[in-house]
Each structure stands twice: as structure tokens, then as C-alpha cells.
């Protein structure tokens, strides 16, 4: 086993106050593409740029484009499965070692793996609600038709994910900051650390066990006490 993975394994054995902070790279081994990675969504050519489709103003003006994009994707029917990283993190929580998962992902796979304390910075794209009355709708209900879904009150139904141009939920952000501040070991993985304010979260970490697991370099590599440039699912299957 790679020496750095051995080191991570020791830090995990010694700590009962670990926090994990992850991004889209955590779910690529579940078949969900990230944004900026080797096979990321930003590499795909499309008529309307992705940043636009996933922005709040565009959604409110052209909800049909968002629903077309989601319905054409193979990830809209709830069939995605957690991988080794999600599963091992859920086990570490059960063992009392991991205090929280903070995720930039909106795919809900940490909860599917069994994690209970999950701070979803960008909400959850599998849950829906009415912008007018707040009534909640399941993914199945919303995905069934071919039209833009509307609530029985007439309001537009939107996903629970945070669109570009919207602010993050301050309570979720505050809870994430608290967890990071108190952590002995902070494991950051599968994130390009390029999207703010989420990426700025690691500035709150005060310890000296900052682990960064990412296939490609990030702007924060120099700050890591331990850097592992391997697939995150593989790393978690070894620890
Ligand atoms: P990103 O696409 O900017 O970066 C992902 C990083 O993970 C890349 O540096 C890539 O090299 C690395 N990576 C990919 N697969 C990996 C693997 N198996 N092991 C280790 N590293 C791997 O993602 P981000 O930093 O999370 O920021 C993009 C934003 O897009 C997020 O804020 C998120 O909300 C959203 N997003 C979410 C999903 C999802 O819910 N699954 C998918 C795509 C984008």
C-alpha cells in the first residue's frame, strides 16, 4: 500500500474527531461526472453552457431547459449507487470516529450509504418543492411527465439544489464551519477547491492533519499535511 495511504490509515485509527469535506470527485466512481475533472461536464460541448442551465435566473426564465437537461441525463431516476468512499465514510461515522460529512454534491449518495450527519452545501437535486407554497415533491413525481412540473397551487416546482447565483443556506454553512473548526483530522477529497465560498471552508481548519485526496492538483496542495493523488474510492477501500 502507498505510504501516504498507510499514514492516513494511522491517523484515522488514532482519531475520533474526523471530518470529511468532499466534492463532485467523490461520486465519479458511482458514474456521476464531475465538472472540472478529466471527463467532467465542462468538457462536453452543448448549445447552452452548463453554468447557464444551472443558474437561478435562467431556471426561472426557462425552466423547460433545466427539466430537459435533467430528464435527458441518466442520473434522474434515483438509481445511482454509493461507492467505496461513501460506504467507508458511513462506517467511520457508525464507529464513532467521523463527526460529519460536508459535501458540495447534490446527489444524496452519502445518505444513501448510511451517513447521518451530512451538511449539503449545495442542497439536494433529488428533492423538489414548489416556489410558491413550499409543498415538497419526490423525484419520481416530478420526473414522470414531459412538461415543466407545477404544483397544485399553480407554482413552479424547483429542485432542492442550490443554483449558481443563489446563496448557500447560512445554517448549513455555519454547521460546516463549526465541524471543521473542531476537527482533529480533516479529510478533503474529490474537489478542485475552485468554487467559493465552499472552497474557503478549509481556512477554518486549525489542526495539523489536513489530508487532501484528489486525482489532479488543486490550489491548496501546498497546505495539505498529507497529499494523496489517487482515486478516492480506491483510497477508502484500503482504510
Ligand atoms: P469539480 O468538478 O470542480 O472537481 C472535482 C475534482 O475531483 C477534480 O479536481 C478531479 O480531478 C477530482 N476527481 C474526480 N474523480 C476523482 C476520484 N475518483 N478520486 C479523486 N479525485 C477525483 O468538483 P467540485 O470541486 O465539487 O465543484 C463543482 C461543483 O459542482 C460542486 O460545487 C457541486 O455542487 C457541483 N456538482 C455536483 C455533482 C454531484 O452532485 N455529484 C456533480 C457535478 C458537479
The Cα-based distances of 97 to 47, 81, 223 in angstroms read 46, 24, 23
Judge contact between 235 and 29, C-beta under 8 A. no
Q: Is 195 near ligand 1, meaning CB less than 6 Å away?
A: yes
- Using the predicted structure, report yes or no on whether residue 198 has a pLDDT greater than 90: no
Judge contact between 16 and 96, C-beta under 8 A. yes
| Of the candidates 177, 142, 172, 179, the residue with the CA atom closest to the CA atom of residue 159 | 142
| Residue 122 falls in the annotated catalytic set | yes
Q: Is 149 near ligand 1, meaning CB less than 6 Å away?
A: no
For 150, the 3-state DSSP assignment is: strand
Q: Is 28 near ligand 1, meaning CB less than 6 Å away?
A: yes
Q: Which amino acid residue places its CA nearest to atom 2 of ligand 1?
A: 35
Q: Which atom of ligand 1 is nearest to the CA of 232?
A: 19
Question: Quick one: cell of 22?
Answer: 468532499
User: What proportion of the chain, given as a percentage, has pLDDT over 70?
Assistant: 99
pLDDT in tens, 122-142: 999 999 999 999 999 998 899
Query: What does DSSP say about strands 18-22 and 185-189: parallel, antiparallel, or unpaired?
Result: parallel
Ligand 1 centroid vs 95 CA: distance in angstroms? Answer: 27
- Using the predicted structure, report yes or no on whether residue 166 has a pLDDT greater than 80: yes
Q: Is 158 near ligand 1, meaning CB less than 6 Å away?
A: no
Which of 76, 86, 110, 122 is flagged as catalytic?
122
What predicted TM-score, i.e. pTM, was given to this entire model?
A: 0.95
Q: Which atom of ligand 1 is nearest to the CA of 38?
A: 11
Cis omega (within 30 of 0) on the bond before 214? no
d(CA 80, CA 130): 25
Q: What is the DSSP letter of 50?
A: H
pLDDT of residue 47: 86
Q: Which atom of ligand 1 is nearest to the CA of 231?
A: 19
- CA 114 to centroid of chain Cα atoms: 15
Query: What does DSSP say about strands 123-130 and 136-138: parallel, antiparallel, or unpaired?
Result: antiparallel
What element of type H or E holds 164? Answer: none
Residue 69 backbone phi and psi in degrees, to 5:
-60, -45
Confidence of residue 12 (pLDDT cuts 50, 70, 90): very high
| Of the candidates 228, 194, 224, the residue with the CA atom closest to the CA atom of residue 85 | 228
Q: Is 93 near ligand 1, meaning CB less than 6 Å away?
A: no
Q: Which atom of ligand 1 is nearest to the CA of 125?
A: 40
Amino acid at each position: 500500500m502507498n505510504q501516504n495511504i498507510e499514514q492516513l490509515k494511522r491517523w484515522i485509527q488514532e482519531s475520533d474527531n474526523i471530518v470529511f469535506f468532499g466534492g463532485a470527485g467523490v461520486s465519479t466512481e458511482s458514474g456521476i461526472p464531475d465538472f472540472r475533472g478529466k471527463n467532467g461536464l465542462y468538457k462536453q460541448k452543448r448549445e447552452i453552457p452548463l453554468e447557464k442551465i444551472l443558474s437561478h435566473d435562467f431556471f426561472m426564465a426557462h425552466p423547460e431547459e433545466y427539466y430537459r437537461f435533467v430528464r435527458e441525463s441518466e442520473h434522474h431516476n434515483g438509481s445511482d449507487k454509493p461507492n467505496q468512499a461513501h460506504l467507508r465514510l458511513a462506517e467511520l461515522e457508525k464507529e464513532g470516529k467521523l463527526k460529519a460529512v460536508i459535501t458540495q454534491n447534490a446527489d444524496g449518495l452519502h445518505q444513501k450509504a448510511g451517513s447521518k450527519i451530512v451538511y449539503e452545501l449545495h442542497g439536494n437535486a433529488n428533492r423538489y418543492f414548489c416556489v410558491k407554497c413550499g409543498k415538497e415533491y419526490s423525484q419520481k413525481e416530478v420526473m414522470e411527465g414531459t412538461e415543466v412540473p407545477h404544483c397544485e397551487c399553480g407554482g413552479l416546482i424547483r429542485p432542492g439544489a442550490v443554483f449558481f447565483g443563489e446563496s448557500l443556506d447560512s445554517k448549513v454553512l455555519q454547521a460546516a464551519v463549526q465541524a471543521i473548526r473542531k476537527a482533529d483530522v480533516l479529510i478533503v477529497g474529490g474537489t478542485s477547491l475552485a468554487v467559493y465560498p465552499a472552497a474557503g471552508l478549509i481556512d477554518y481548519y486549525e489542526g495539523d492533519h489536513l489530508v487532501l485526496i484528489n486525482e489532479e492538483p488543486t490550489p491548496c496542495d501546498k497546505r495539505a499535511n498529507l497529499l494523496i493523488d489517487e482515486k478516492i474510492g480506491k483510497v477508502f477501500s484500503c482504510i
